[in-house]
Amino acid sequence: MKKIIYSILTFFVIIISSCDLTEEPQASVSASAIFGSESGLKAYTYSFYNMLPDGSSAYQQDAMADYGAVNSINSFIRKGAYSAETSSGWTWTDLRNINYFIVNCTNENVSESVRNNYIGIAKFFRAWFYYNMVVRFGDVPWIDEPLSVDDEALYGARDSRTVIVNNIIEDLDYAHNNITETVGDGTLISKWTATALKSRICLFEGTFEKYHTELSLTDSANTYLKLAADAAEAMMDSSGYALYTDDGTSSSFRTLFISDSPVTTESILSVAFSSTASIFSSANWWWTSSTYGPRWSMTRKFVNTFLNTDGTPFTDNADYSTMAFYDECQNRDARLAQTIRTPGYERDDSYAAPNFASYTYTGYQPIKYCLDATSYDDGAYNTNSIPLIRYAEVLLNYAEAKAELGTMTDADWAETIGALRARAGITSGLTAKPTEVDSYLQTNYFPGITDPIILEVRRERSVELALEGFRFTDLKRWKVGELMAEQWDGMYVPALDTAMDLDNDGTYDVLFYNGTEPSSIPSGCTAINVDGTSTITLSDGDHGNILNFVSTDDRYWYPDGRQYYYPIPSTAITKNPNLVQNSGW
């Protein structure tokens, strides 16, 4: 049974009772039984998959993002609410488990090639572990062996991010060269999973070093960008993966996120679920409930970045800022209608407009991970798989690395951004890289970027990978964290006390009023008070864009940039005084 990522149940259990680096793993069977057979090695490596996002987290990785309005602010972006005393994540249990396996995988009863295959899988997960640590903390100690209680390395200083990333690359190269699996069922690590992750990590490090000039690492930025491009190009030339297009422009993109089985044409690594094994996720519940999830609603500023189908910016329309919801959803990038509820969306064979009664604050309600039957909404019932790494990201990694290096050609553009836009039904601008800056995108998101190619690649990445867990990390590596504190806005409301038919189906969906509720409200129409005491207001009082009730003041990005890293927990520094706290914390 290969659908193992959602649950690891093997014939032995590795138990590590502490987050301390010195704890010895305790196995319910002998080490010789584990390391002396291929079945034992395979069973052990299954434990590593528990490091991946699971059924309660894989669909909510963008829970904290600039383009998502929510009902509760993460303490990390609230002024004075987060500190070293409350920090977390300085946890090394998984690394101890991996290193123990690598060091002990020496039994010659198993052939060298088989051992190297499973060591490759272990090194993939060590790279996964350390990448997440670098993203969270920056410099961290590099440890590649299971430490004993008296090992001096326990009290060492942090190694530089360069040391960590170079070791990550070495691990991933080993994984690619030694893992025997080439194309699996979308849930198991293969050699190409390692190469795809390499493209992600090298792009992260190259751009982080380029834009975070305070690190004085700009000289090595291009080295990592070249490695990112090379890894992605290897995938493009030899992996056999491709963009999934079998369901046409209107459905192919969303199929990737609502299909029970991973769409292995494009999905390189996924979290899978099974009704047969009674293993489910609660994706629908989180994305439709007024209480279980945060009522995550996309902002209009971000929705405005989805192109028109003719390839022109939506914001080139003279009246874009006052367009009614129905009108703004017409003739747009097909991913818009596969990411949020737009006119024509149905649930249980009935039109389903954005639900202001119990969910959305902005009018832009996500559907990317939601199954359309409402029977999935009130518990953990979802069986749709959730991609963690897919080929579209590889194309975007290649495009961005080439753009940042200044070496993108028209052929590169057509093979990456052009191909993604073609799947989304965009009809022009597919074969030649752009030459003009989109002023809306530049002004509202990336004022420091003047290269139209970089701007458009960032637009494409943002749209294609929305809700997939990349956004906060992307903002950090691009050094635009201040976007996290900007006002959340929603759809345009032309007037108070006027019922609105959002999807033009002949039924009124929502009415906004100020103070006194109108005496006559159409049946089924939700009435929203915008007098300042409810959850939302309007930007211009009696009309304008919806503004989320959480004011800009509630979210804060420190000018000193401390939030580009999390603080090391104070308890860790107490145990090891050689650790130096991240600046500002």
**Kind of pairing between the strands at 297-298 and 346-347:** unpaired
pLDDT in tens, 233-264: 999 999 999 999 999 999 999 999 999 999 99
pLDDT for position 148? 75
Residue 184: burial class (beta carbons within 10 Å; 0-12, 13-18, 19+): middle
What does R_g of the chain's alpha carbons equal in angstroms? 25
pLDDT for position 24? 44
CA distance 142 to 92: 11
pLDDT for position 29? 60
Beta bridge partners of 26: 15
What proportion of the chain, given as a percentage, has pLDDT over 90? 88
How far lies 416's CA from each of 1, 239, 422, 461, in Å?
Answer: 34, 15, 10, 11
Distance of CA 102 to the CA centre of its chain: 29
- Top pLDDT among 3 and 121 is at 121
Which residues have a Cβ under 8 Å from the Cβ of 151 and sit 6 or more positions away? Answer: 22
Residue 175: burial class (beta carbons within 10 Å; 0-12, 13-18, 19+): buried
pLDDT band for position 1 (cuts 50, 70, 90): very low
Average pLDDT, the chain: 93
pLDDT for position 26? 47
How far lies 221's CA from each of 17, 435, 462, 583, in Å?
Answer: 40, 25, 22, 22
Query: Global pTM?
Result: 0.94
Sheet holding 489-493, edge to edge: 489-493, 544-548, 536-538
The one-character DSSP state at 147 is: P
Q: 545 with 489: CB under 8 angstroms?
A: yes
Which residues have a Cβ under 8 Å from the Cβ of 552 and sit 6 or more positions away? Answer: 485, 486, 487
Residue 144 has pLDDT above 80, yes or no: yes
Q: 85 with 102: CB under 8 angstroms?
A: no
User: What's the average model confidence in pLDDT over 190-202?
Assistant: 98
* Token pair listed for 55: 């059924």
Closest CA to 95 of 134, 67, 64: 134
What proportion of the chain, given as a percentage, has pLDDT over 70? 94
Question: Which DSSP helix (H) or strand (E) runs through 136?
Answer: helix 112-137
The dihedral through the CA atoms of 207, 468, 585, 559 has a sign that is positive
Question: Rounded to 10 degrees, what is the CA torsion of 172, 174, 177, 182?
Answer: -50
pLDDT for position 551? 54
Residue 7 has pLDDT above 50, yes or no: no
| Three-point CA angle 339, 344, 347, nearest 5° | 75
Beta bridge partners of 510: 500, 526
pLDDT band for position 154 (cuts 50, 70, 90): confident
pLDDT for position 19? 41
Which residues have a Cβ under 8 Å from the Cβ of 177 and sit 6 or more positions away? Answer: 120, 191
Pure H helices in 180-324: 191-211, 218-238, 252-258, 283-288, 300-303
The one-character DSSP state at 540 is: T
CA distance 94 to 16: 9
Q: 157 with 141: CB under 8 angstroms?
A: yes
Q: For the chain, which residues make up each domain, given as ranges? A: 490-548
Query: By mean pLDDT, which of 91-105, 139-153, 237-251, 416-430 is the weakest?
Result: 139-153
Q: For the packed helices 191-211 and 391-405, what is the interaxial angle rounded to 10 degrees?
A: 40
Residue 93's SS3 state is helix
CA distance 130 to 168: 7
The one-character DSSP state at 63 is: S
Q: 50 with 98: CB under 8 angstroms?
A: no
The dihedral through the CA atoms of 408, 413, 415, 417 has a sign that is positive
* Token pair listed for 357: 């009664």
